[in-house]
Amino acid sequence: MTDKITVLVPVYNEEGCLGETHRRLSELFKTLDVRCEMLFVNDGSSDNSLSIIRALAQQDPQVSYINLSRNFGKEAAMSAGLDLVDADAVVIIDADLQDPPELIPKMIELWREGYDNIYGQRTERRGESAVKKLTAKYFYKVIKRVSRVNIPRDTGDFRLLSRRAVTALRQLPESNRFMKGLFAWVGYRQIALPYQRDARFEGTSTFNYWNLWNFALDGITSFTTLPLKIASYLGLLIAFSAIITGSFIVAKTLIYGDPVPGYPSLMTVVLFLGGMQLLFLGVLGEYLGRMFSETKRRPLYLVEKHHRGSASVDEEPPQTGVKG
């Protein structure tokens, strides 16, 4: 029996790209000596993506799809795909053709050499603004500093995962799914595959700066508690300097008497400490909020329909992404 490879494509409003993505992938499949499948995960698109996927699945037995009950976000869409897939290796690729499918044979080659996680690493980001490049650069710097898991720089979700890596990912119970971090957390044999990231084939990115900022916060809070520790150390530092200043003032008063100045300095200290306290209450809140959503243990996604290409089973009972 030859190996089976599934190419997992999360889709959210990609009607303009899907035809081309399907064409490029099927061209590629013809050249591969493994059994291939495309698995589209429709993440609640509000355009015609679903009907296009359905039509593709009707013509082409290599196409399977999962339709989620609404838009759950890319991380959940990928988790749904990884949970429901049955393949020896899974390649995750964006529907907008920013990641070249032509890299997949190289990934398969490395997989056969025994690697479990072959991730595309961008050498160049075409069609992205200077601000996005800069913020991305600093995000990777910060996360590298603060987290014990080594999350590779300039790496997206474009990668090949072996069966055991996929099985490991399924076991992770958290609902806050910062996938890049989780891929790295799993470990096993990982290797980077440098490539040039193209501009989108069609349409615009759904990730604006506010989304990216929240995404970065998710990444940092789910991989380190350092921000919480900073509060303790900063508190210690401030308390210590207060003792020193206090003794200095006592000594000064004893020697020179006390004419009671100091309104401005008092104000500065009060505002500074007030600001610090609010800031760290906010940091606490970020973690608390995430704990809140974890404790609810809601499923990560709901499956409306899972169509397996060429397999006879079509209708599935509704599946949910409850973990653990």
207 contacts ligand UDP (rule: CB under 6 A): yes
- Binding to ligand UDP (CB under 6 A) within 217-236 occurs at none
Q: Per-residue contact track with ligand UDP, 26 to 55, x per CB under 6 A?
A: -----------------x------------
Chain Cα centroid distance, residue 254: 60
- Output the six-digit token pair for 214: 């929240």
Q: Which one of Mg ion, ligand UDP, none interacts with residue 154, CB within 5 to 8 A by kind?
A: none
By CB under 6 A, how many residues form the interface with ligand UDP? 16
The answer to the question of residue 96 lying near ligand UDP (CB under 6 A) is yes
Q: Does residue 57 interact with ligand UDP by CB under 6 A? A: no
The verdict on 321 binding ligand UDP (CB under 6 A) reads no
Binding mask 40-79 for Mg ion (x = CB under 5 A): ----------------------------------------
CB of 21 to ligand UDP, least distance (A): 9
Which of 224-233 are b and which e, b meaning 16 or more Cβ less than 10 Å from the residue's Cβ? beebeeebee
> What residues does 118 pair with on adjacent strands?
160, 191
H runs (alpha helix) in the chain? 15-31, 49-59, 74-84, 104-112, 130-146, 163-171, 179-186, 209-223, 226-256, 263-296
State the Cα–Cα distance between residues 122 and 135, nearest whole angstrom.
15
**What is the rounded CA–CA span in Å between residue 57 and residue 37?**
11
CB of 206 to Mg ion, least distance (A): 8
* Cα–Cα–Cα angle for 8, 175, 302, rounded to 5 degrees: 60
Q: Are strands 155-162 and 319-320 parallel, antiparallel or unpaired?
A: unpaired
Residue 125: exposed, middle, or buried by beta-carbon count in 10 A (0-12, 13-18, 19+)? middle
The stretch near ligand UDP (CB under 6 A) out of 10-18, 146-154, 183-191, 237-245 is 10-18
Selected binder of ligand UDP within 11, 104, 191, 303 (CB under 6 A):
11
Q: Which is nearer to Mg ion, 76 or 84 (CB)?
A: 76
| Least distance CB 92 / ligand UDP (angstroms) | 10
CA–CA separation, 154 and 124 (whole Å) = 9
* Distance in Å, CB of 189 to ligand UDP, minimum: 26
Q: Which of 158, 180, 170 is nearest to 8 (CA)?
A: 158
Q: How far is CA 38 from the centre of its chain?
A: 21
> Given candidates 98, 117, 155, 224, which one binds ligand UDP under the rule CB under 6 A?
98
Mask for 84-113, x = binds Mg ion (CB under 5 A): ----------x-x-x---------------
Pick between residue 200 and residue 307 the one whose CB is nearest to ligand UDP. 200
Name the residues that contact ligand UDP, by CB under 6 A: 10-12, 14, 43, 71, 73-74, 77, 94-96, 98, 205-207
